[in-house]
Chains A and B, each alone.
Chain A
Amino acid sequence: MSVIEVRNLHKNYGSLQAVDGVDLTIERGEIFAILGPNGAGKTTTVEILEGFRTRNSGEVKVLDFDPQFKGKGARDFRDRIGIVLQATSDAGDLTVAETIHHYAGYYSDPRDANEVIEAIGLGDKKKELVHTLSGGQRRRLDVGLGIVGNPELLFLDEPTTGFDPEARHDFWDLIRGLRDLGTTIVLTTHYLEEAEALADRVAVINRGKILEIGTPANLGDRATSLARVQWESAGIMHEQFTDKPTAAIAKLMHEFDEEIPKLTVSRATLEDIYLKMIEEER
């Protein structure tokens, strides 16, 4: 059963076409990443799904609800979703615990606030004022506020911008844990390794249009693209592109007696594929 259905979505700001005919279907329980350069239309699309923005045309159903509808049902809709906006700087004068406990009181069936604080790794910062937290800690608090309502669907808008690598890995574990509990997650990011580490499927968007949707492993021609074999011979690096890297290495083993110097076999990274897609657009 799909959680999000989008057909032919359009949104413009004056003469700028921010979202230009987007189609999306997001299934229950998956982590879906939306990739794209700055200004591609990621945030606009997600904010339409969250109900923050109105569209110019197209059909949108999120949890069987039209998110731009303001009347009856809008509160029940927001009771079922969690939203982590791009970095904000609000509510600095409350403690971590006060903030999470307070937000829990907005929902019909919230998660236990103390459990949430532990889950986001802020157990020892519980009594600290929010404005004393580091950037990464603050971002985890944002996620805590997004999940305290026990949402079926969680939106994460560039959640790890400004994280150090370790914090980012901890954060990914947290998100995977939520998926394992059955939460559907929609994530925008411009970190390719984040999409690769987390997402079941990714959509690449540029200039308001979806270029492709696929699993990180199969996006573009990645699954079928040629492998690159690199090695050193007589002080010079050589490289060969082949669809039979094993055979290529077997042949090299005959040429060298022992170890093949500086041997690597690699395939296109998600980043290579992504950059190629964006580049072709230009």
Chain B
Amino acid sequence: MTKLPSTLKMGWRRGKIEIRQFLRQRESVVFTLLFPLILMAIFGSVFKGEIANGVKFSQYFLAGMIASGMINSGFQQLAINIPMERDDGSLKRLRGTPMPATSYFIGKLIMVLASIIFQVILLLLGGVLFFGIHLPTSPNKWLIFAVIMILGTGGSASLGVAFSIVPKSGRGASAIVTPVIIIMQFFSGVFFVFTQLPKWMQDFASVFPLKWLCQGIRSVFLPDAFAQSEVAHSWETARTLLVLAIWFIVGLVISIRTFKWNRE
């Protein structure tokens, strides 16, 4: 008997088909990919002032938007989409084929990664052209950014898969998932400067990955002097990477343990 295609190869095929399906839903493409840029434009024109020496709010906000893009394309997209696929029978049909769950996850990860990369490029381009964002020149910063991207994307996607068992139906999924994200964004310093939030909000947000994602991205795109204005008066790069890595692992473990193909 000929051998089954490898898990990786099936995962790659899943990724391509996921991206194709995603691109066919035009409204959702425009919304997901352009929304961060639109928010950027709105906030950029409302808050024009500087929050520290030489740092404009729009620069601060850019970091929050990149982090939000990762959360939206990963966590939100999957936590809403997977319950819908479970409801409409897609997952059950896939379960009846020799394709393993790992390939399914790889496919989702590829789609999420593609969407995040596209958004980041769009945001950086918009930031440079319209909001006077300075891109870092040191390779070190870009390296940190790449690691944050990988940990952030992986964490966001795996936590999305893990959370996908929470909504009881595909239709109700966005009503449960969206508020979770919006609250997280407010608490984690996406819409406001984190240090200006009440202490209890800061403490709460510090447990979750979004706050660290924002802070990590700020360490890449804001001048080093701004580190003084962070809560710990430092970028806390090591701690940031550690927290993101822990959440990535937590997400992986929960999703592998709890993932269900169908509602029996």
Contact = CB atoms under 8 A, between A and B. Distances in A.
Interface residues of A, number: 28
Interface residues of B, number: 26
Contacts of A103: 97
Nearest to B13: A105
A94 B90 CA distance: 13
A84 to B, nearest CB: 9
A89 B4 contact: no
Interface stretch (B19-27, B51-59, B62-70, B229-237): B19-27
B20 A76 contact: no
Interface string A69-104: 000000110110101010011110110001000110
Contacts, number: 76
Nearest to B25: A93
Given A76-B4, A88-B92, A90-B89, A106 B25 contact: no
A109 interface: yes
A56 interface: no
B93 A85 contact: yes
Nearest to B23: A93
A50 interface: yes
B95 interface: yes
A149 interface: yes
Interface on chain B toward A: helix, strand, loop, or mixed SS? loop
Contacts of B90: 88, 90-91
Contacts of B95: 52
Contacts of A75: 4, 98, 100
B180 interface: no
Query: Which one of A51, A79, A145 has the greatest number of beta carbons of chain B within 10 Å?
Result: A79
B96 A93 contact: no
B92 A106 contact: no
A172 interface: no
A83 B89 CA distance: 13
Given A88-B93, A90-B93, A93-B25, A78 B98 contact: yes
A108 B2 contact: yes
A51 B97 CA distance: 11
B97 A108 contact: no
B98 A76 contact: yes
Interface string A38-57: 00000000000011110000
B17 A94 contact: yes
A88 B13 CA distance: 22
A106 B10 contact: yes
A89 B85 CA distance: 10
Q: Which of B5, B13, B92 has the most CB of A within 10 A?
A: B92
A85 B89 contact: yes
B262 interface: yes
Interface in A107-143: 107-109, 129
A89 B89 contact: yes
Contact of B97 (A76, A78, A88, A129): A78
Given A52-B262, A93-B25, A106 B98 contact: yes
B225 to A, nearest CB: 49
Contacts of B24: 93-94, 129
Contact of B99 (A76, A98, A106, A129): A106
A105 B5 contact: yes
Contact of B21 (A50, A83, A91, A145): A91
A102 B4 contact: no
Interface string B84-107: 010011101101111110000000
B199 interface: no
A52 B92 CA distance: 8
A85 B96 CA distance: 9
Interface in B114-160: none
Nearest to B16: A102
Contacts of B97: 78, 103, 106-107, 149
19 contacts: A52-B264, A75-B4, A75-B100, A76-B4, A81-B96, A83-B93, A88-B90, A88-B92, A88-B93, A89-B89, A90-B90, A93-B20, A93-B25, A105-B5, A106-B10, A106-B97, A107-B4, A108-B2, A129-B24
Given A78-B96, A94-B24, A106-B97, 7 more contacts: A83-B96, A88-B92, A90-B93, A105-B5, A105-B10, A106-B99, A129-B24
Interface of B: 1-5, 10, 13, 17, 20-21, 24-25, 85, 88-90, 92-93, 95-100, 262, 264
* Closest 4 pairs (CB-CB, A-B): A88-B89, A90-B90, A83-B96, A93-B24
